[in-house]
Structure 1
Amino acid sequence: MSEPGHEIRFEAEVIRFNGPGGWHGVFLPVDAASEVRFFGRANALGAIPVRARIGASDVKTSLFPDKRRDSYLLPLKASLRHSENIGEGDLITVTLHLDL
């Protein structure tokens, strides 16, 4: 991820959400969420497109605002979780790349 832009690195615990599909994600810590608010560019729905590096994987995805936590949610697709052997409760390191 050496292209122009802003990188944000953080650790977070993987959470499994109840409901159809039982999808997984991480909430950004306070300091990382503050950087996203400052540097990120949201689309019409409030989502912020990002590239994320988790382990050896680089993925294009989006952050979704969570007003209750005053943070953002980074969803983790099943294919990523399987390739990186990520499960509920794991602490993972994420490097986000925001295009400026």
Structure 2
Amino acid sequence: MRIMFEGEIFRWTAREQDWYLVALPADLSEEIREIPRMPRGFGSVRVEVAIGSSRWRTSIFPDASRGVYVLPLKRAVRDAEGIGVEGVVTVDLEILDV
């Protein structure tokens, strides 16, 4: 399953280090929840992501407070793509756990 979406960057500060994430849209998160797959830690789903010319593999995680999956944005990707600590990014995401 491959999806493209635009998402707003937000900061998660629940730990000592700040993490920057993008929330997937609710309808896409619901579709992903419905995909049969083996359970993984923290409910994560393996994905391949492209933002601009950067491509990497990571996992998306369910965010109970938002009711959607969230995608962590690595610092190296933010730096390479000129992504700041806020704004909107276009994400090309492929679900690998199918």
State the TM-score, normalizing by the size of structure 2.
0.86
1:61 maps to which residue? 58
The answer (yes or no) to whether the contact 1:49–1:60 under 8 Å persists in 2 is: yes
The corresponding residue for 1:14 is 9
Cα distance, 1:40–1:86 mapped onto 2, change above 3 Å: farther
1:35-46 equivalences under 5 Å are 35-39=31-35, 41=37, 42-46=39-43
Partners of 1:37 and 1:8 lie apart in 2 by 14
Count how many residue pairs are aligned between Structure 1 and Structure 2: 95
1:83 counterpart residue number: 80
Q: Name the CA distance, whole Å, in 1 between partners of 2:93 and 2:32.
A: 9
Gaps of 5+ in 1: 1-5
Moved over 6 A (4+): none
Residues 50-81 of structure 1 show CA distances to partners (whole Å, capped at 9, x for unaligned) of 00111111110001111121101101111110
Overall identity of the aligned pairs, in %: 38
